[in-house]
Amino acid sequence: MKARETISALLLLAGLLTGAQARAEDPQGKHGWDITVEANTDFPLSVGGRLGVESPWRLRLSTSLGYMPAAYVGLVNDVGVGLDAYGRNEADLIESSLKNSLVWRTHVGWRPFARAGLYVEAGYGLVALGGEVSAEDVLASLLGIEPPGDAEALTREYRVRSVLHMLDVEVGWRWGLGAGWTARTALGAAFTLDSNTRVEPQFQPSQPLLVTAFSRLAEGQLDRTFERYVHLPVLSFSIGYAF
């Protein structure tokens, strides 16, 4: 009888200790709402800032805003041309239409393991408000389109602007550096789903119908170029502070 009571007491004590240990360990795997502000680069898309929010259930939401440096576009084009992915004409079109664009990306994701920094995200990317003015003869040569016949063709210019709608995917890791500071790196990809290009004459055309037709042809050619070639691997680095 005494032996049975002793065993019961030991089992009860073990249960209490196990429960206490579980309660002590449980908070280590949980946290409240986590808000992080980061200085961020998504190479070769943008340099800028990023705001991230993580819930107590490790669901994530992030948004970033930056610009696309001309050097990023140029480096990607050099690699693409070197690998024969596309020609120099396509590279020049991509660079002249996208450099210095505004880049906005918004993702949702999940960090599956409570005690690890691994996370996965997917979302939407917008590239807009970039581009530059191009001379008509240069634009026609790059596109392989005949410009409207006019003696002033050598001096006429067009503003080229493109808006890209992209699908983003990303796998990354976040580290806590102490005192609220964080670091993050990720590998992902951005795929162009749709392109909307505007080619606008920067002059008063004497043959408006021909100039309009030339502009529409140029827009279609540029959109096909972006939708075919602008699918990029993306490497991200961030330093941030968590509140």
Return the domain boundaries, the chain.
1-30, 31-242
pLDDT digit of tens for each residue in the chain (243 aa)?
A: 544 554 454 444 444 334 434 333 344 455 789 999 999 999 999 999 999 999 999 999 999 999 999 899 888 888 888 888 788 877 887 887 888 899 999 999 999 999 999 999 999 999 997 877 777 877 777 777 777 766 565 578 888 889 999 999 999 999 999 999 999 999 999 999 999 999 888 888 888 888 898 889 889 988 998 899 899 999 999 999 999
Burial label, 72 (beta-carbon count in 10 A; 0-12, 13-18, 19+): buried
**Per DSSP, what are the bridge partners of residue 182?**
176, 240
31-242: CATH topology? Porin (2.40.160)
71 contacts: CB under 8 Å, gap ≥ 6:
none
Nearest to 98 by CA among 137, 62, 125, 63: 125
Q: In 3-state terms, the chain is what percent helix, strand and coil (to 5)?
A: 35, 45, 20
**How far apart are alpha carbons 154 and 141 in whole angstroms?**
12
The Cα–Cα gap between 99 and 129 comes to 9
From the list 66, 62, 40, the residue with the least C-alpha distance to 119 is 62
**Residue 69 amino acid letter:** P
Residue type at 130 in one-letter notation: G
Q: Position of tokens 């590279």?
A: 91
Cis peptide before 27 (omega within 30 of 0): no
Q: What does the alpha-carbon distance between residue 223 and residue 198 come to, in Å, rounded to a whole number?
A: 10
Helix intervals (H) in 39-99: 70-82, 88-98
Q: How far is CA 17 from CA 22, 53, 183, in A?
A: 9, 36, 37
Report pLDDT for 206: 80
